[in-house]
Structure 1
């Protein structure tokens, strides 16, 4: 495997160049973190791959970070990132927010991903997949576009390379991209198709052994770490629990334990809406997060959703305990 790369191939940009001193340019070396395992980092540079062991004086770093070392690969300093997802990845230019246009379409989840991406100071592009299987793609796209008049929204078939040409402006050489999306949203299909659209003589290649950074046929860099793949859990954090804890508590008062809150008799949530004790839009967002599967008439929850419900119930119990005291 070729282990040497130009800085441009690794994602180097003017933003980082401006942070260099004369000593850096003349005597030191620049490298990008391409993998992390415990206290050990793997870095890629114009001079090949090397490892760096962190110590008490080394700042917290993550995949995607740029660092300055001396010629012996001793750490000197960390460059300020252009964007950062805490404990997951840094220096991502564009995040594709993936959501399917089938029964798994989830507007509330897209909103959460947008918040996460904006907080990280990266650019967001919403990619709505499985357009070929949807009869109401235009209506769902319009709902997403209403979230932000400047938001870029693309509707694609992730299995069709021609359909993905709309993403080309974000896949230029040296640009780093990442994907966020729930299980089944089409992330893997989209990545596979993009990786297969190579021009003659170009092939994807890993930066380092882990494959967390990959150079795509277009020259863009795909950042795909385990922690980024698991970011879907983040939409069920404490803020989401705080937003919906009252609704979750009401579920216990429904007449039926498997109430779907779709007009069943004795539904406590619908009763609260009718009595103007709950906002209709908040309930709608909550229902989207629950991701009910109308095809089999049973509530299905992903692992992140199960974690959300367990955490929410614990939060509710803690609040009741605090009030009792």
Structure 2
């Protein structure tokens, strides 16, 4: 059984296969062609964390593939209200053909996958957000920036940073991560990425100076400084992240045609300036749309490799 919990579990070849499928699916959709690759299949969508893009893209994607998606919040099911994760997994996977989970602890989704009879997709955990990275890399490929990329991640050492580490280590591009002191990436995740980078040829650098990280970068990306569940830390984090906003002055340090990516939602005036969001709106919102296509490619690929 193949699950999609982190990019660590996939080879470069497999990641590129998913991206190629996504690009083909997007091309067909723009031409008005709908291939019912998952006709009569059901996707259970378990949301312990709310979302705009994740719900809309998975639900729309499953419909366009000929299947049906079920939205299940923690108010709709017994998970987290007395029923063990393993029992919920056994029940749902005996009825549905695929499961997407957006939750807090990564260990929860790992346990669910251990007891699931069908593919489980990580729609986001506190540790990783791999479906977003599929959309991000698909967007990079569309703009002709892939293995030769120099990506600068400016911001918090969170689930997005961890997922960028996994992608870079698998694909083999250069990734520079700049975080404030005290907000660095998880040391075990970094250690894993550095080991994989030896095989792929990826160059991974971590630092605390955003200007050093962004120098001559071809892709710049960031994320909110306070993720879901960290609202109480917001004021403290705004102070800690002073000097980490991606603005016009910072983007002047990049390559001439550098692109800016953001997983959204973006908090203008904090991690990114209004100016940069407006200048790079085309690619940012194409990136957001690509959540739909990348996830459709992923679901089709998982259905093909379910056994």
* TM-score of the aligned structures, taking structure 1 as reference length: 0.28
More helix by share: 2
* TM-score of the aligned structures, taking structure 2 as reference length: 0.29
Bigger Cα Rg: 1
